[in-house]
Amino acid sequence: MLKYFLKKTILFIGLIFLTPAPTAMGNSLENLAKALAKIRGEVETLQTQLDTEKEKHGSRISALNSQLADLSVEERRQKMSIEKLQHSIEKMTGDAKKAEQSGENLKPVLLAILKDYKQYIQTGFPFKTEDRIKAVENLENNVVNQTIDPNKAINQAWSLIEDEIRLSKENGIYQQTISLSGEKMLVDIAKLGTVFLFFQTRDNRVGMAKRDTHNG
């Protein structure tokens, strides 16, 4: 574009020297002035477009930085959740061994662990929450009604918590019933670990589930 402007300018300057008559000289100068004014206007237009593109680029960079910051926060939360689950496994194992060695009943130990675990699910990542809570409650009922061997119950509890750790590392496409605008509906969801969960309804509405910051 700049080369084009320079050629244009040189052409009009050349016309000045190629025109012998004063009248023609005056016309050439007038034409040159008009051409320069036009070129100046085009330069200003290009500068405005450049400034606009810079602003758009800056906005995109800001948006990307904001998204990156959100990802970093969620990643830290995910790591903390995994550490918390791993600590629960260690605590459960330690408490079970202590209870077994002292001859105490494992029932209260198991129920306390399952209660904490259920609360973790209720306030955590909204992926198949009802199914995960149901699995915990089934084990709770078996422990309360003594329809399961305590050691077997510990193994099942351990397995459930390990499933949570696995859940935090898996990505995939699933189907899930969610509540949207007060209505329950089956939707397609895309899950990224326990960081992000996107959904799409049958009528092509899309959205993203977010962690409730008031509940952790």
Decide if 183 is inside a domain.
yes
CA proximity to 169, closest of 136, 195, 130, 199: 195
In the listed set 24, 39, 57, which residue is the last one of a domain according to the structure? 57
Phi–psi pair at 205, nearest 5 degrees: -80, 140
Which pLDDT tens digit goes with each residue over 74-95? 667 767 766 776 676 677 667 6
Domain of residue 28 covers 2-57
Residue 139 has a pLDDT of 92
pLDDT attached to residue 136: 92
Residue 103 forms part of a structural domain? no
pTM above 0.85, yes or no: no
137 occurs within a structural domain: no
> pLDDT, tens digit, for every residue of 98-147?
666 554 567 787 888 888 888 888 888 888 888 999 999 999 999 888 88
Task: Identify the residue with better confidence: 16 or 193.
Answer: 193
Phi, psi for 19 (deg, rounded to 5): -100, 115
Would you state the pLDDT for residue 216?
Answer: 42
Say what the pLDDT of residue 135 is. 93
Question: Phi, psi at residue 15, to the nearest 5°?
Answer: -65, -30
Cα separation, 104 vs 156, in Å, equals 20
Least confident range of 67-76, 146-155, 161-170: 67-76
Residue 30 lies in a domain: yes
Distance between CA 12 and CA 38 in Å, rounded?
A: 13
- What is residue 213's predicted lDDT score, i.e. its pLDDT? 46
Q: pLDDT (tens digit, 9 = 90+) per residue, 12-42?
A: 445 444 445 455 555 666 776 677 777 777 7
As given in the structure block, the two tokens for residue 198 are 């996107």
Which pLDDT belongs to residue 64? 67
**Lowest mean pLDDT across 12-21, 156-165, 207-216:** 12-21
Q: Which of 13, 42, 57 is at the close of a domain? A: 57
- The residue among 17, 36, 57 that closes a domain is 57
Q: Specify if 120 maps to a domain.
A: no
Domain contains 124: no
Total domains in the chain come to 2
Q: What is the pLDDT averaged over residues 31-55?
A: 75
* Amino acid letter, residue 90: E
